[in-house]
Each structure stands twice: as structure tokens, then as C-alpha cells.
Amino acid sequence: MRRRDLRERATGNRHWLSEPLLHFLLAGPALFLVHQALSPTAANQDASSRITLTEDDLRQMTIAWHAQGRPLPTPEQMQSLVETKVREEILYREALALELFATLREASSPEPIHPSRGDQA
């Protein structure tokens, strides 16, 4: 009778090993940890992804604002100028990443370029 109880307990333990919920609970955190280890985080990203405006950049924005015949910008207007500059920088970097400038060069070239032949038609 004791062997029978042991066999039933062993079979019951094996039953848990085939449960999809257990697989999910084990595989989910494992995949998450692997993803975290392999993908860069905000702390690990290099400084090239950071947008930095220097005092000269701010001074240049102020001069351009004033050159349009406006009074010196208020702090709220300056904040808006900074936000616009950052937004433009983000769009510029996205365009570089998507190689949009190369596409524009090809579209504006006077003669079509045939990359398969390596010459111009």
C-alpha cells in the first residue's frame, strides 16, 4: 500500500509538469530576462541619442527670433523655441535612420540611376 501511494504521488507530480500554466509561468520570466539582458536600456544607450542644446544654440535661437523684428522672447516663447528645435532634431535623426535623404537625392537627380549596371542611363 505504501508503494501505491508513492506511485500516485509521483504520477501527480508529473501531471504538474505537463500543465501549460506552469510552462507559461516559467517561460515568461525567462524570456523577459533574456530580452532585458540582450536589449539596450535607456541607461546603456550611448550619448549620441541624447539631444543637447548648448548656450550658443539658445543664443542663436534668440538672435534669429530678434532678427525677425520681434522683441526678445519671453521664457514661455523660449520654451516653445526649444521644444521646436528638439522636435526638428528628432525628425532629422529619424529621416537619417530611414535614409530619406538618399531617397530625395535619387528622386531629384536629373537622370535615373541604375544600380544593377552601376552607371547612369
Residue 20, domain extent = 1-39
**pTM above the 0.75 mark?**
no
Residues 58 and 88 in one domain: yes
Number of residues written out for the chain: 121
The tens digit of pLDDT for each residue in 42-97 reads 555 555 788 899 999 999 999 999 999 999 999 999 999 999 999 999 998 888 88
Closest CA to 106 of 91, 120, 117, 89: 120
Residues 30 and 50 in one domain: no
Residues 6 and 35 in one domain: yes
Sign (positive/negative) of CA torsion 94, 97, 101, 103?
negative
Residues 62 and 115 in one domain: yes
Residues 82 and 120 in one domain: yes
Residues 95 and 62 in one domain: yes
Average pLDDT over the chain reads 78
Q: What is the DSSP letter of 48?
A: G
Residues 7 and 27 in one domain: yes
- The count of domains in the chain is 2
Rounded average pLDDT over 12-25: 77
Residues 63 and 88 in one domain: yes
